[in-house]
Amino acid sequence: MKIKQWIEENKTEAIEFLQKLVQEDSVQGNEEGVQMLVKEHLEKIGLETDYWIPEDDAFLNHPYFCSTRKDFSRSPNLVGIWRGTGGGKSIVLNGHIDVVPPGDLNQWEAEPYSGHIEDGKMYGRGVTDMKGGNLALLLAVQCLKDLGVTLKGDVLFHSVIEEESGGAGTLAAILRGYTADAALVPEPTNMKIFPKQQGSIWFRLKINGLSAHGGTRYEGVSSIEKSIPVIQAIQKLERERNKRVEDPLYRNTPIPLPINIGKIEGGSWPSSVPDEVLIEGRIGVGPQETLEEVKAEFEQAIAYIEDQWLQKHPVQVEWFGARWLPGSIEVEHPLMGILQKHYKDVVGKEPEIEASPWGTDGGLLTQVGKTPSIVFGPGVTSYAHYPNEYIELQKVFQTAEIFTHVIYEWCEGEGL
């Protein structure tokens, strides 16, 4: 009851702090202001901090380094450290601090970085993905500190940059040694528990045709027409890949491993036969798959399209831009049991356990940091990346309460 009461007493202050976090626009390249806020906060609640600009060669040249930039001078990474007394299990609490751009401002009912509250919901870019989740972690740590608890295991709070662009911030934290026995990643899951997370990679296809005047189009080969069998081959591959998925965690997901065609562009003039089409998309990578397996299967499907022209003029496949590693933790892992138990205690019902249809930094933590990760957070999945993003404050506090119990038990706390 001490925990519930502490949270109740600290709600007003917590809401103000979340508003400040949201009001700091922290899109890629602009994370300095918000990181300073978090750093001050971590120090105020009694954690050591490590605040640094990721720039060393081991980081920049790492095989899983993936970013559109090499210069992070205005994008510090931050870790808050609470050393345990020793002999206990450690935990990473991982939250990214970067947000995606607000997009079309006309679709926002209020200013995107307002942080205003209406009917128990706070609005603003990044509030659900994932500053609200970060707050839940911070509240849990602060609560344990305030209640005078000691922990045997270490707590490492990652406030990382760049998750939205490929995870370079979490990679930098891992390479700096901030790994642990397990991790919690409160991305917006609607408080569903995701022990498995889908990874993803981006592809770009170039489909070639032969130009001609539109009036004598029979003299050319339309790359737009030739895109149809390519799109159909992708649809067929998606069906085949999903037939193989038997994991019960996906039973409620209509397409567990989607292949999304996100962009198409080809031709330049209405009355010319288009000689090139570019298609860009994203293929989901199952929790147990490797990126390499998935790439090979995709490339093979594209290479074997039954079309004489395409056989002679093969579609070119390029893997580009962002990629997220899949991640997973065993469903029977002790941290899963602890989380489910406290969820049930706080919320009053069994949690929903699923596999996530998108990647998170949990993939890097699992595969590079050898830190099995659970994704579980208070945000509203469907509003992440969308206008009028919001979070229900009540869920932030429920999640904070759950996290407090989980950390206390996992890290073998004493004093409550």
Write out the residues near a second copy by the rule CB under 8 A: 198, 200, 202-204, 213-219, 222, 224-225, 227-228, 231-232, 235, 254-255, 258, 260-274, 277, 280-282, 284, 321-322, 356-359, 381-382, 384-385
How would you classify the pairing of strands 353-356 and 327-328?
unpaired
**Nearest distance in Å: CB 315, a second copy:** 16
Pick between residue 37 and residue 291 the one whose CB is nearest to a second copy.
291
Q: How many helices (DSSP H) and strands (DSSP E) are in the chain?
A: 11, 18
Pick between residue 187 and residue 392 the one whose CB is nearest to a second copy.
187
**Measured distance CA(178)–CA(3) in Å, rounded:** 27
Pick between residue 280 and residue 299 the one whose CB is nearest to a second copy.
280
Which residues are registered as beta bridge partners of 81? 48, 156
**Nearest distance in Å: CB 7, a second copy:** 31
Pick between residue 157 and residue 194 the one whose CB is nearest to a second copy.
194
Pick between residue 31 and residue 275 the one whose CB is nearest to a second copy.
275
Pick between residue 115 and residue 258 the one whose CB is nearest to a second copy.
258
Q: Do 274 and 206 contact (CB within 8 A), yes or no?
A: no
Q: Do 162 and 67 contact (CB within 8 A), yes or no?
A: yes
Residues in the chain: 416
Q: Do 208 and 398 contact (CB within 8 A), yes or no?
A: no
Burial class (CB in 10 A: 0-12, 13-18, 19+), 410: buried
C-alpha closest to that of 173 among 48, 329, 45, 59: 59
Pick between residue 218 and residue 348 the one whose CB is nearest to a second copy.
218
Burial class (CB in 10 A: 0-12, 13-18, 19+), 74: middle
Pick between residue 147 and residue 322 the one whose CB is nearest to a second copy.
322
Coarse DSSP helix, strand, coil percentages of the chain, rounded to the nearest 5 percent:
40, 25, 40
Residues involved in catalysis: 98, 163
**Measured distance CA(415)–CA(210) in Å, rounded:** 75
**Nearest distance in Å: CB 330, a second copy:** 23
Q: Report phi then psi at 175, rounded to 5.
A: -65, -25
**Measured distance CA(325)–CA(373) in Å, rounded:** 12
**Nearest distance in Å: CB 411, a second copy:** 32
**DSSP for 181-242, written as a single string:** SEEEE--S-TT-EEEEE-EEEEEEEEEE-B--BGGGGGGSB-HHHHHHHHHHHHHHHHHHHH
Which residues are registered as beta bridge partners of 263? 280
**Nearest distance in Å: CB 43, a second copy:** 36
**Measured distance CA(199)–CA(325) in Å, rounded:** 5
**Nearest distance in Å: CB 278, a second copy:** 10
**Nearest distance in Å: CB 384, a second copy:** 7
**Nearest distance in Å: CB 219, a second copy:** 7
Neighbours of 68 (CB within 10 A): 12
